[in-house]
Amino acid sequence: MTRADPPVWSSPSSDPADETFGDVVEPIRVEPDEPVRAADLEAYDAVLVGEPFDAAVIGRTGARDGPDAIREALAGVKSHHFTAGSIAAVGDYGDVEPATTDLESIREGVREAAETVHESAALPVFLGGDNSLTVPNVVPLLEHGRVGVVNLDAHLDVRAVRAEPTSGTPYRELLEAGLDAYTCVGVRHFETSTVYADYLEERGGTVVTAADVGRDLEGALDRARDAVSDVDAVYVSVDCDVLDAAHAPGVSAPTPGGLTPRELFRLVYELARDHRLAGLEVVECAPPLDRNGRTADAAARVVAHALAGATSRGDGNRHGDRGGERR
């Protein structure tokens, strides 16, 4: 597995008093032909990892262009949060580049990169890419204690794997690999089949619908937290289709009835305040399908709100306590 060098970040603002993520994010550089090691990441609170692949998408493709679009949008986002203060110490790993373009090689390359960042003290922030890459992003964590995933998504993504994995199979794969807790927040009525709802119920999963969030956001948060209360590490996945199609047209399967950006940002911010947070991903942002950069802008702000949440913990531990021994 190799990687593409990260881009040079810069702010698009003409105001010298503005500090944006373009000023904050630093490309992670290593010697030519040398791999990135966990020790290279220790100076950062969080590390962005691009995963520009959509070979496993069931519906419309385009998520391979997500990492670049999210970076471009994030570069112009101001770094100040009114509760958390300024965001700092963010590194950019660059994009994963596997040896070949087959799905198995892609997922193995992603797993290797994810393992490197998980071994460091930095918070991994994976920029997708399609939802099938959740599996290699999370699998390294399963070797080090009990893991729970909070998935903000319009769909359960617990389809059975048939010919090969797809963007609809990641959480069945992870549950069968030993994932200890799974909750899906923002799932829509009439967007899944009864057989998959029954499967998740049988596995002890938790469903919090978009309607639940709209009625009682605090209650939805409490249910999501309760679902992962007994694990050592929490991983948060954001599929951009959790947003209503009006706010996120640039996804594989846009549907009405989803979350508002304000609801999503609040959920992500609060979930990221958990000291057990071990990783975050934003997947299924498909710029070729977008309108006026709407989806990429929302995805970039998901990253910003997550980093603000992690910054605001105030637990005296810059990177959180993920449970178990330090990897």
Cα dihedral angle (270, 276, 278, 281), rounded to 10 degrees? Answer: -20
Which residues make Cβ contacts (< 8 Å) with residue 208, sequence separation at least 6? 183, 184, 185, 186, 187, 220, 223, 224
**Is the per-residue pLDDT at 72 higher than 70?**
yes
159-183 confidence digits (pLDDT tens)? 999 989 999 999 999 999 999 999 9
Residue 199 — pLDDT band, cuts 50, 70, 90? very high
User: Between β-strands 85-86 and 90-97, what pairing exists: parallel, antiparallel or unpaired?
Assistant: unpaired
pLDDT at 327: 37
Query: How many domains does the chain contain in total?
Result: 1
Average pLDDT over residues 145-154: 98
- pTM of this prediction? 0.95
CATH of the domain at 270: 3.40.800.10
In a domain, 29, yes or no: yes
Structural domain includes residue 151: no
pLDDT category at 33 given cuts 50, 70, 90 is confident
| Per-residue pLDDT tens digits for 214-249 | 999 999 999 999 999 999 999 999 999 999 999 999
Position 296 in a domain: yes
Q: Average of pLDDT values for 8-26?
A: 96
pLDDT at residue number 314? 59
Which amino acid does the sequence have at 180?
A: D
Q: Is residue 9 part of a domain?
A: yes
Query: For the chain, what is the radius of gyration of the CA atoms?
Result: 18
**Whole domain around residue 50: which residue ranges?**
2-144+233-311
In a domain, 223, yes or no: no
| CA 131 – CA 100 distance, rounded (Å) | 19
Predicted local distance difference test score (pLDDT) of residue 208 = 98
Q: Is residue 255 part of a domain?
A: yes
Residue 208 lies in a domain: no
